[in-house]
Chains A and B, each alone.
Chain A
């Protein structure tokens, strides 16, 4: 189980970082949006588990291959949401910041990115969901972690263990949803003035 949690943490974090960076790029540069943007949309429609054979060939049977598909599973949702967030920042906030001497990258860091937090949260939530699915699928086919244990249990006809692992999988999902995302979202929505 700890292997699984470790993999998803690393994969999820990477997806957030790469997704944010790419999203800022796409939201900022029209050229990047028209080129890389369409690529991202194309990649987004490929279920990330499809990459597993390539990942296994490239990275071998270890955690790296699994983390790779978690990242692929989560990055695109994060990218597209950050991109939307950056594009939809109220122009008024940017204008106000400009009158106070902000320009260039400072505008991105101090205004556009914070203003995109609600979109980022939606992105993170999706990235988590996709990443979690990718992890389970990856582990069923790959090695180690909860997914593998699930398969082993089946091979030993240990139904109790199978059920127990499924329960653990859903509980982890629920914990993240209710203890992490839901309260975060509530706080962010209120503060950003998005609640009705």
Chain B
């Protein structure tokens, strides 16, 4: 059953002063099943965040529609929770109050607190409920914002490079937590990342996006048993397939950003080693 339906979506940014416009993508079609874990993978600037924000209802598509079930999206809604790249916590609220922030609108304070505590426990932050965001590490903040999104109990969780700024160890711990939560709650998740390995570890299906013209350039189902072992031959094979298809895209972006003196051999050596495109762009 399709949960999220993205139909012929175009996004064009207009610059009123210079009278120019820039089309990020002009015809995205994508259906996401209920309970599916979907990753959007692509080089910087290909429009992953733009697409996610349109699904979130924070930005409007220039053309096309996004539907959740049979409902057309026009604004943010409680059915879609968002975890942003930066934690986006209110600095004047404690961890607990931050998680209660959205809950308080739909239930009594007592209930909101109970629920918030439950989700903070899920992300192992029970000890820090009275702390303020500035007292937490980056990974802890990100966990608070995951708890905040989950506590609202949205059917769909939209995550925009939630672990982009974290170190390898914290990231892999959060991968486990997210998988656990996904298995427990059966939510539909759309996960944006530039990290190939991350997308293979987590998702049921990976959508590759490219630039100029922007759009979907490939699709990889991941049929590996969980928990996934990055060292297994199937895993490595899939990673390499994805890398091959993306290599051309990454070169395009680099050429554009660096100009003519770009040397493709050097660059391919650079991103050959750790499969994280983002760090080199």
Q: Is there an interface contact between A92 and B86, defined as CB atoms closer than 8 Å? A: yes
Interface 1/0 per residue, A122-150 and B, CB below 8 Å: 00000000000000000000000000000
Per the bound structure, the CA–CA distance linking A117 and B92 in Å amounts to 9
Question: When A99-B56, A99-B82, A100-B152 are in contact, do A93 and B76 touch as well, CB less than 8 Å?
Answer: no
Question: When A96-B84, A190-B134 are in contact, do A101 and B102 touch as well, CB less than 8 Å?
Answer: yes
Residues of A within 8 A of B58 (CB): 95, 98-99
A90, A92, A100: the one contacting B101 at CB < 8 Å is A100
Residues of B within 8 A of A110 (CB): 101
Q: Is there an interface contact between B80 and A102, defined as CB atoms closer than 8 Å? A: no
A90, A96, A191: the one contacting B82 at CB < 8 Å is A96
Residues of A within 8 A of B90 (CB): 93, 111, 114-115
Kindly provide the distance from the CB of A56 to the nearest chain B CB, expressed in whole angstroms: 43
Question: When A96-B82, A100-B152 are in contact, do A191 and B88 touch as well, CB less than 8 Å?
Answer: no
Q: B237 interface residue, CB < 8 Å from A? A: no
Interface of chain B residues 80 through 108 with chain A (CB within 8 A): 80-82, 84, 86, 88, 90-92, 101-102, 105-106
Per the bound structure, the CA–CA distance linking A115 and B56 in Å amounts to 23
Q: A121 interface residue, CB < 8 Å from B? A: no
Interface of chain B residues 115 through 150 with chain A (CB within 8 A): 132-134, 145, 148-149
Q: A193 interface residue, CB < 8 Å from B? A: yes
Q: Is there an interface contact between B134 and A97, defined as CB atoms closer than 8 Å? A: no
B78, B88, B132, B148: the one contacting A101 at CB < 8 Å is B78
B57, B88, B148: the one contacting A93 at CB < 8 Å is B88
Q: Is there an interface contact between A101 and B105, defined as CB atoms closer than 8 Å? A: yes
Per the bound structure, the CA–CA distance linking A193 and B86 in Å amounts to 14
Per the bound structure, the CA–CA distance linking A93 and B90 in Å amounts to 7
Q: A109 interface residue, CB < 8 Å from B? A: no
Q: Is there an interface contact between A101 and B106, defined as CB atoms closer than 8 Å? A: yes
Residues of A within 8 A of B133 (CB): 193
A92, A101, A192: the one contacting B84 at CB < 8 Å is A92
Q: Is there an interface contact between A98 and B134, defined as CB atoms closer than 8 Å? A: no
Residues of A within 8 A of B152 (CB): 100
A92, A100, A114, A190: the one contacting B102 at CB < 8 Å is A100
Q: Is there an interface contact between B84 and A193, defined as CB atoms closer than 8 Å? A: no
Kindly provide the distance from the CB of A182 to the nearest chain B CB, expressed in whole angstroms: 19
Interface of chain A residues 69 through 111 with chain B (CB within 8 A): 90, 92-93, 95-102, 110-111
Interface 1/0 per residue, B26-39 and A, CB below 8 Å: 00000000000000
Residues of B within 8 A of A97 (CB): 101
Per the bound structure, the CA–CA distance linking A124 and B154 in Å amounts to 41
Kindly provide the distance from the CB of A192 to the nearest chain B CB, expressed in whole angstroms: 5
Residues of A within 8 A of B149 (CB): 99
Q: Is there an interface contact between A95 and B134, defined as CB atoms closer than 8 Å? A: no
From B80, B90, B132, residue with most partner A Cβ within 10 Å: B90
Q: Is there an interface contact between A102 and B84, defined as CB atoms closer than 8 Å? A: no
B56, B78, B92, B148: the one contacting A191 at CB < 8 Å is B92
Per the bound structure, the CA–CA distance linking A190 and B80 in Å amounts to 32
Kindly provide the distance from the CB of A71 to the nearest chain B CB, expressed in whole angstroms: 28
Binding site for B on A (CB under 8 A): 90, 92-93, 95-102, 110-111, 114-115, 117, 190-193
- What are the 7 closest A-B residue pairs judged by CB atoms, nearest first? A100-B102, A96-B88, A193-B134, A99-B82, A99-B76, A98-B76, A192-B91
Binding site for A on B (CB under 8 A): 56-58, 76-78, 80-82, 84, 86, 88, 90-92, 101-102, 105-106, 132-134, 145, 148-149, 152
Beyond A95-B84, A192-B134, 9 extra complex contacts between A and B, CB < 8 Å: A92-B88, A95-B88, A99-B81, A100-B105, A101-B102, A114-B92, A117-B92, A191-B91, A193-B91
24 pairs, A vs B, C-beta closer than 8 Å: A92-B86, A93-B88, A93-B90, A95-B88, A96-B82, A96-B145, A97-B101, A98-B76, A99-B57, A99-B76, A99-B81, A100-B101, A100-B102, A100-B152, A102-B102, A102-B105, A110-B101, A114-B90, A114-B92, A115-B91, A115-B92, A190-B134, A191-B134, A192-B91
